[in-house]
Structure 1
Amino acid sequence: MGEFSIVATINERRLLKSIEMSGASAIRFNSSHVSLEELQKFISYYEDNCALPLYIDLQGAKLRLSRSQPIMEVKAGEQVVLGCRSSQLRSIAVDPRTLSYLSPGMRVSIEDGRIELQVLKLEADFARAMVLRGGVIRPAKGMNISPHPINQIELSSRDSDIVLATRKYGFVRYALSFVSSPSEVIELKELSGREVASKIERELPFSRIEEISASSDEIWFCRGDLGAQLGARGLVDFYAFFSDNLRKLYKPVLMAGEVLEHMVDAPFATRSELCHLKDIQRRGFAGVVLSNETAYGSFPIETIKTVLEVTSDE
């Protein structure tokens, strides 16, 4: 079956060397959570301290909370304000572009559906919403509106600035979020001269995915955003169809999103996670992308070792 790739996400450099030594194939770093200056400092450190390829995750058409959003907990039944500061209700910072897509009654999910809101009322520069499912709000976390409102055909100015500042490093690759067209990938490859992983994060016709794959070096099937977009039944139906046809893509396909989510807080995976991990390998997935497990989890090294143990050919 060949070597099974493990892309480990990190959000700070402290664990970089230990994750490299534990058997990860590559490192992923999300550029949406830092400033361009902070990203450049991280890559300078990375160049001197890690020999693995580095995927820089670009925001693409993904909607996110502001990086200035304070950490706070919201509870079911609470009302909040989206888009501006309020003296009466707690505020969630989103940009004007996101506000323009909202309408009363619409449901908005945050961080792959862990938090869910329902829009109650729109004003000129904010929206009032009810919390349906509570949780901890963190800066720069992803937002989902279903169906996803953006079909982006060119790189954003921020993503372009990131590429121009980082393409000189030979170890850098790029992972592009919410790809909907091969033109985005082609532009990124021409600008960067680097390998590109296209992240499938919404339901697309398979013919479109084949076109995206033909322009990409890898495909990442991202269940977190797909689940927030499609709901439970929609996700499993799309996954079943996609996995039955993934060998038609002729490029490595990696599974991303809650691969071993139990290990964020526990030193062992559930039996169902272990069996599913082996099953996706047998279906033809070339590897996995670990997210919260290694970026925020308490057992990142144990998680990587678990993947190695389950997917080893020995």
Structure 2
Amino acid sequence: MSSLKNKGFCKIVATLGPNTSTEEMIDRLVMSGVSVFRFNCSHGSLEEYQQRIKGIRAAEKKYNCNIGILFDLQGPKLRIGRFKDSAVITLKEGDKFRVDLSPEPGDKTRVSLPHPEIFQAMQEGLELLINDGIVRVRVDSFTADSAETTVIAGGQISDRKGVNVPGAHLPISALTEKDLKDLKMAEDLGADFVALSFVQKAEDIIYLRSLMRSQAGVIAKIEKPKAVEDLDKILEVTDVIMVARGDLGVEMNSERVPVIQRRMINACRKAGKPVIVATQMLESMVNNVTPTRAEASDVATAVYEGADAVMLSAETANGKHPIEAVSTMRRIITTVEREIKIQEPPVSFKVADNPEQAIIAAAGMSAKTMAMASLIINFTDSGTTTKRTAKERPYVPILSLTPYEDIARRMTLVWGVTSMKVKNLESFDDILREARAAALASGMAKEGDKAVITAGVPFGHSGDTNLLYIVSI
């Protein structure tokens, strides 16, 4: 295994797009630090996805590493209709404005809102946010097919601008017909993760799982206030949480977003579920070769808070400097993590919830207290042992060994983990032999280094971690 060193503990997710679809660009992005590639199902075709996957799997083979593939389903898009002559309409505070189900082109007094579900959830005082919240209107009165509103924040709107309804639970499925087709395509192409947009409640995730044929990891995108309210239940049924700050920042006051981000990261850490922080992390690098100081601080904050991964969207999909964006993010991550390790408090014993977690906690403490310990090695069938290890944030590299390729790829989103596929093990001697061979092959250790091994015996029982062993490589 060719070691891609200095990637840090926090992972990088990069979105592929027109500027980064060639095998050469994908190779360079992997070398710069990308662990997971995101496909935005709002853009792209089957042929483009196939070409990108070919490049990703070629990089996997070249560097003998696992790379995750994430398909991000578009979800329902709520939009206003069109205006006469495609006019740009300026609304001022205090203006009266009607939205309705009529398909007629709009003007300065009204526009079509072709979503009966919104009218089903309508109520007086409800706010509708148009064009990413630039224009805000408050409902004064309504019927089954129209609503009279007052503009409370003015601005410009035009054809097909998006609408957000933060104060209502909309009776609308998180999966559209397009999403169902994209889900089938993603599974046929071997997606490692599927992200669901417009999540409002845990049942949305349960419904997605009921439709899936594969064992791909499910990512719940938290971008609506209703999902924030139901976070604990969503955490119980999802594999990963994404803090999707774009729509979240539209649907609630901006000052609340950092608070919600920290709360969600803490909840995921407690639950042992990976969490991705996304949207506008290095937005200025779409055009500029360096980020703003505020953007660097934003990435650093996510790392300090313990996020498993940070994500780039337009920066790598269609930005002018995709390689520089990834490299910059990687440097920020490694710099912050170096500081965290320096400032880390002394090792203290924790109360474990179960025997398996006690073993994992002991492994982390053993690695920390042994100055010469190079890494922690997990043997896992389902990935549970590895995620429990990462939950402790030992700030020691974690080498996850599994007999299943799909599990190895699903570990690419987990904090601090390098994953490798190994053959099925039958004895303790097999563990020692495979651990030594994998540690050397990965470049994560050299002969004479110490490693802390965790596993479950007898083999084949998911989650039964009951072995801790310190080995010389």
TM-score bracket, shorter-length normalisation: 0.7 to 0.9
Give TM-score scaled by structure 1 length.
Answer: 0.76
Q: Deviations over 1:265-304 (max 9, x none)?
A: 4322222221231121121101112233334544333222
Query: Is 1:54 aligned with 2:64?
Result: no
Deviates more, 1:241-250 or 1:204-213: 204-213
1:25 and 2:35 aligned? yes
Contact 2:205 2:234 in 1 (8 A): yes
Worse-superposed segment, 291-300 or 99-108? 99-108
Instruction: Measure the CA separation in 2 of the matches of 1:296 and 1:128.
Output: 40
- The 1-side partners of 2:19 and 2:180 are apart by 28
Between the aligned partners of 1:236 and 1:226, the Cα distance in structure 2 is: 10
Higher relative contact order (CA closer than 8 Å, sequence separation 6+): 1
Deviation for aligned residue 1:175:
0.6
Letter of the 2:241 counterpart: I
The Cα RMSD (Å) is 3.9
Q: For 1:147, what is the secondary structure of its paired residue?
A: coil
- Is 1:189 aligned with 2:239? no
Count residues in correspondence: 306
Amino acid at match of 1:15: T
Instruction: Find the structure with the greater CA-based Rg.
Output: 2
Tell me, in whole angstroms, the C-alpha distance in 2 between the residues paired with 1:80 and 1:266. Answer: 39
- Mapped contact 1:182–1:215 kept (Cα < 8 A): yes
- Partner Cα separation in structure 1 for residue 159 and residue 317 of structure 2: 14
Q: CA deviation at 1:105?
A: 6.2
Q: CA contact under 8 A between 1:294 and 1:303: conserved in structure 2?
A: yes
Deviations 1:158-214 (A, max 9, x none): 322321233111135211013233333233234322221111112358784233223
1:97 aligns with 2:147: no
Query: 2:71 is aligned with what amino acid?
Result: I
Aligned positions of 1:137-286 closer than 5 A: 142-150=162-170, 155-192=175-212, 193=214, 194-203=216-225, 208-286=230-308
After superposition, the Cα gap between the structure-2 partners of 1:41 and 1:109, relative to the gap in structure 1 and judged at 3 Å, is: farther
Contact 1:103 1:119 in 2 (8 A): no
Counterpart mapping for 1:288-307 below 5 A: 288-307=310-329
Could you tell me which amino acid in structure 1 is paired with residue 51 of structure 2? Y
Greater Cα offset, 264-273 or 82-91? 82-91
Task: Measure the CA separation in 2 of the matches of 1:93 and 1:20.
Answer: 46
Question: Do the aligned partners of 1:81 and 1:127 also contact (CA within 8 Å) in 2?
Answer: yes
- Answer whether contact 1:252 1:285 (CA < 8 A) is retained: yes
Tell me if structure 2 keeps the 8 A contact 1:73–1:136.
yes
**Within 2, Cα distance between the matches of 1:291 and 1:311?**
17
Q: 1:295 to 1:53 in 2, by over 3 A?
A: same
Say if 1:169 and 1:150 are closer, same or farther in 2 by CA, change over 3 A.
same
What displacement does 1:309 show?
A: 1.1
Aligned counterparts of 2:172 and 2:307: Cα–Cα separation in 1: 27
